[in-house]
Amino acid sequence: MTPVDGGVEPATFRDVVAAYVGLTKPRVIELLLLTTVPVMFFAAQGVPSLGLVAATVVGGTFSAGSASVFNCVYDRDIDEQMRRTRRRALPRHLVSPRAALVFGVVLAALSTAVLLLWVNPLSAALSLGANAFYVFGYTMLLKRRTTQNIVWGGLAGCFPALIGWTAVTGELSWVPVVLFAVVFFWTPPHTWALALRYREDYANVDVPMLPVVAPAREVGRQVVVYSWVMVATSLLLWPVAGTGLVYPVAAAVLGAVFLLEAHRMWARTRGTEDLTAIQPMRLFHASNLYLSLLFVAVALDPLLTR
Q: 13: which residues sit within 8 A by CB, 6+ positions away?
A: none
Q: With a cut of 90, say whether residue 14 has pLDDT above it.
A: no
Mean pLDDT of 209-229: 97
Tell me, what's the pLDDT at 12? 82
Tell me, what's the pLDDT at 9? 56
Q: Is residue 8 part of a domain?
A: no
Same domain assignment for residues 252 and 292:
yes
Same domain assignment for residues 73 and 25:
yes
Q: Give the C-alpha separation, 214 to 148, whole Å.
A: 12
Backbone phi and psi for residue 9, each to the nearest 5 degrees, phi listed first: -130, 150
Same domain assignment for residues 23 and 142:
yes
Name the pLDDT band for 306 (thresholds 50, 70, 90). low
Q: Is residue 6 part of a domain?
A: no
Mean pLDDT of 167-189: 97
Q: Is residue 4 part of a domain?
A: no
Same domain assignment for residues 23 and 83:
yes
Q: Give the total number of structural domains in the chain.
A: 2
Same domain assignment for residues 54 and 197:
no
Name the pLDDT band for 91 (thresholds 50, 70, 90). very high
Name the pLDDT band for 8 (thresholds 50, 70, 90). very low
Per cent of the chain over pLDDT 90 is: 90
- Which range of residues forms the domain containing residue 158? 13-169
Is residue 208 helix, strand or coil?
Answer: coil
Q: Is residue 116 part of a domain?
A: yes
Identify the domain boundary among 129, 144, 169: 169
Same domain assignment for residues 163 and 241:
no
Per cent of the chain over pLDDT 70 is: 96
Q: Helical H runs in 10-49? A: 13-23, 26-34, 37-44
Same domain assignment for residues 131 and 47:
yes
Question: Of 12-16, 217-221, 229-233, 278-282, which gets the smallest average pLDDT?
Answer: 12-16
Identify the domain boundary among 115, 144, 169: 169
Tell me, what's the pLDDT at 70? 97
Question: Of 29-33, 152-156, 218-222, which gets the smallest average pLDDT?
Answer: 29-33
Q: Is residue 5 part of a domain?
A: no
Same domain assignment for residues 197 and 151:
no
Tell me, what's the pLDDT at 203? 95
Task: Give me the CATH number covering residue 304.
Answer: 1.20.120
Same domain assignment for residues 30 and 111:
yes
Tell me, what's the pLDDT at 305? 83
Same domain assignment for residues 194 and 282:
yes
Q: What is the pTM of this model?
A: 0.94
Question: Of 35-49, 84-98, 112-126, which gets the smallest average pLDDT?
Answer: 84-98
Task: Give me the CATH number covering residue 139.
Answer: 1.10.357.140
Identify the domain boundary among 110, 135, 169: 169
Name the pLDDT band for 16 (thresholds 50, 70, 90). confident
Give 212-274 as a DSSP string.
HHS-HHHHHHHHHHHHHHHHHHHHHHHHHHT--SHHHHHHHHHHHHHHHHHHHHHHHTTT---
User: Who wins on pLDDT, 113 or 3?
Assistant: 113
Per-residue pLDDT tens for 118-171? Answer: 999 999 999 999 999 999 999 999 999 999 999 999 999 999 999 999 999 999
Q: Is residue 7 part of a domain?
A: no
In the DSSP assignment, the letter for residue 7 is E
Same domain assignment for residues 190 and 99:
no
Q: Is residue 1 part of a domain?
A: no
CA dihedral 152, 158, 159, 160 (to 10 degrees): 160
Same domain assignment for residues 135 and 212:
no
Backbone phi and psi for residue 2, each to the nearest 5 degrees, phi listed first: -125, 130
Average pLDDT score over the chain: 94
Q: Is residue 103 part of a domain?
A: yes
